[in-house]
Amino acid sequence: MAKEMKPNEIIQSINYTPPAKPWMELPVEIKPGMFCWGAKAKSLNILGLPNARDWNPSHEDWKLPENWKDTVLEGMADRLKKYRSFKLFMDICVRCGACADKCHFFLGSGDPKNMPVLRAELMRSVYRRYFTTPGKLLGKLGGARDLDINVLKEWWYYFFQCTECRRCSVFCPYGIDTAEITIMGREMLNLLGLNIEWIAGPASACYMKGNHLGLEPHTIKSNVEFMLDDIETVTGIKIDPPFNKKGADILFVTPSGDLFADPGTYTCMGYLMLFHELGLNYTWSTYASEGGNFGFFTSNETAKRLNYKIYAEAKRLGVKWILGGECGHMWRVLNQYMDTWNGPADFLEVPRSPITGTVFENAKGTKMVHIAEFTADLIRHGKLKLDPSRNDDLVVTYHDSCNTARGMGILEEPRYIIRNICNNFYEMPEDTIREKTFCCGSGSGLNAGEDMDLRMKGGLARANAVRYVQQRYGVNMLANICAIDRAALTTSMNYWCPGVGVTGVHEMVANALVMKGEKPRETNLRGEPLPAKGGEGNV
């Protein structure tokens, strides 16, 4: 393992001016710290994916099947017939360059192949060579090139340096979405077993055990019980949440990251406390114990196979509707894919909040409501007793997750909640939030340990905007509604702007939530003393 780069080393390495040599003549260099380990045979075998073997991306030999080139080209032909987005985005780019400096990986690395347009050209060049007449005739002059092993390695390297965040597609005059191209690129790479273990491992665990972390049912329960003990220590209230309960009204699904590590666990405690306080007739499921979907970073088919469990479990338990926790790509999948894959959810009812009576018309097809929609509605109807001053030690800014912003548009709900649960909230600059939000740098399954240089380079743009509000307003807490954010931004904040913590919105909700029969709270969920009431400490 190479030594990880220091912040000033990354800054000094950035040069936005491309090299003199044309990109087609620059062979790919698989740099340590910039890639993730190759998928293991074990993980691919569980999912039944092709060419399962142990391999090392830094070795010369990737152990590919003899006819790998045909496999890729057939895979490309097949997908060109199935996805209009793919076909169209191969054809209509005019290379205006508007997307170039919109990518967090380009901004943080200066690598020209991280410009969205060039990332796509890596594939377009092959598409032209094999699927278009001008490309066949003109060759290199027509922007076409042969598919060889170096090109394949270049694809692998750069399609696993894209977090499918879609920021470029906001600025593209034709809406060309690099995520679509990366998704297709990864599909083709997966035909050759060229996934990364950080994706294939969680995906196979999710397939067999119901969640990415591979938590078995009894472990899920015991993890939650640990949190319940902590909740009791803080609030004096003992909670007994139901698991796999038939006849519950609502199935609750959240990313498993919330069950496992700080600060996600505090968000999870927030859910538990909120549902308890409401007296909600709901259930957790150990089978559908994953909201996220690392299959989505593998292939359409894998994604669908993992997503299947949510509706299947809702049906088995006989719930009326489904409530989903805070997660980014989970909600892109639930919003744009789930019903198409595994619907129609005609065995469920149109979601209706049992507390406020609000009918969630915007989810009447999928029957799945986002917890921020649910909680915003509760607050709007005055159903929660909140004491925002308990969060007075926090100066908060809010990070829109790529997927919830650009693949859904849930922008105001979390902001409404935050304004009601804390007194100090400052937005980052306009060009870095909402639809123009920056990726944490570690999305789409790239939040491993071995690619830390890549993640910190990719995280620079987001952190840079956080540091602006840190210096200007003294922001010390970065709120978000995404499990990968909670893990990835914690690392990136420590790296780029020490002193800024990371929290899920529902952790702050729970800290502000005045519960029936609670003891006077002395600490927040993290066990830190609450800010002094009304005194000087109250900003």
Site for other proteins in 432-461 (CB under 8 A): 432, 434-436, 460-461
Q: How many residues bind other proteins (CB under 8 A)?
A: 117
Under DSSP, the state recorded for 529 is B
CB 363 within 8 A of CB 250: no
Q: Indicate the residue among 15 and 150 with the shorter CB distance to other proteins.
A: 15
- DSSP code string of 161-189: S-----HHHHH-TT---HHHHHHHHHHHH
In the complex, the smallest distance separating the C-beta of residue 482 from other proteins, rounded to whole angstroms, is: 16
* Alpha-carbon gap, residue 343 to 328, rounded angstroms: 21
Residues 74, 148, 412, 522: which binds other proteins (CB under 8 A)?
Answer: 412
* Alpha-carbon gap, residue 193 to 64, rounded angstroms: 8
Q: Indicate the residue among 96 and 261 with the shorter CB distance to other proteins.
A: 96
β-sheet with 321-324: strand ranges across = 282-284, 250-253, 321-324, 368-370
Binding mask 199-228 for other proteins (x = CB under 8 A): --------xxxx-----xxx--xx------
Decide: is 26 part of the binding site for other proteins (CB under 8 A).
Answer: no
In the complex, the smallest distance separating the C-beta of residue 518 from other proteins, rounded to whole angstroms, is: 26
Decide: is 286 part of the binding site for other proteins (CB under 8 A).
Answer: yes
* Alpha-carbon gap, residue 255 to 287, rounded angstroms: 13
* Alpha-carbon gap, residue 130 to 143, rounded angstroms: 12
Decide: is 45 part of the binding site for other proteins (CB under 8 A).
Answer: no
In the complex, the smallest distance separating the C-beta of residue 539 from other proteins, rounded to whole angstroms, is: 25
Q: Indicate the residue among 57 and 75 with the shorter CB distance to other proteins.
A: 75
Residues 376, 452, 497, 512: which binds other proteins (CB under 8 A)?
Answer: 376
Site for other proteins in 309-368 (CB under 8 A): 309, 312-313, 316, 334-337, 339-341, 343-344, 358, 360-366, 368
* Alpha-carbon gap, residue 392 to 403, rounded angstroms: 29
* Alpha-carbon gap, residue 127 to 73, rounded angstroms: 9
Residues 51, 161, 464, 524: which binds other proteins (CB under 8 A)?
Answer: 464
In the complex, the smallest distance separating the C-beta of residue 195 from other proteins, rounded to whole angstroms, is: 17
Structure tokens, 464? 């840079």
* Alpha-carbon gap, residue 459 to 249, rounded angstroms: 40
Site for other proteins in 133-162 (CB under 8 A): 133-134, 138, 141-143
Site for other proteins in 104-133 (CB under 8 A): 107, 112, 115, 117-118, 121, 133
Stretch in the footprint of other proteins (CB under 8 A) among 251-259, 375-383, 481-489, 502-510: 375-383
Residues 2, 77, 94, 261: which binds other proteins (CB under 8 A)?
Answer: 94
Decide: is 80 part of the binding site for other proteins (CB under 8 A).
Answer: yes
CB 87 within 8 A of CB 176: no
Q: Indicate the residue among 223 and 447 with the shorter CB distance to other proteins.
A: 223
Is residue 312 packed enough to be buried (19+ CB in 10 Å), middle (13-18) or exposed (0-12)? middle
CB 276 within 8 A of CB 516: no
In the complex, the smallest distance separating the C-beta of residue 514 from other proteins, rounded to whole angstroms, is: 23
Q: Indicate the residue among 45 and 362 with the shorter CB distance to other proteins.
A: 362
Q: Indicate the residue among 65 and 217 with the shorter CB distance to other proteins.
A: 217
CB 122 within 8 A of CB 151: yes
Structure tokens, 194? 């060229």
Decide: is 83 part of the binding site for other proteins (CB under 8 A).
Answer: yes
Q: Indicate the residue among 73 and 389 with the shorter CB distance to other proteins.
A: 73
Decide: is 245 part of the binding site for other proteins (CB under 8 A).
Answer: yes
Residues 56, 136, 146, 174: which binds other proteins (CB under 8 A)?
Answer: 174
Residues 4, 32, 53, 308: which binds other proteins (CB under 8 A)?
Answer: 308
Decide: is 418 part of the binding site for other proteins (CB under 8 A).
Answer: no
Cβ neighbours around 45 below 10 Å, total: 12
H/E stretch holding 317: helix 300-317
Is residue 18 packed enough to be buried (19+ CB in 10 Å), middle (13-18) or exposed (0-12)? middle
In the complex, the smallest distance separating the C-beta of residue 389 from other proteins, rounded to whole angstroms, is: 25
Q: Indicate the residue among 304 and 455 with the shorter CB distance to other proteins.
A: 304
Q: Indicate the residue among 177 and 277 with the shorter CB distance to other proteins.
A: 177
Q: Are strands 477-480 and 396-398 parallel, antiparallel or unpaired?
A: parallel
Structure tokens, 516? 């029936």
φ, ψ dihedrals at 6, nearest 5°: -90, 160
* Alpha-carbon gap, residue 269 to 486, rounded angstroms: 14
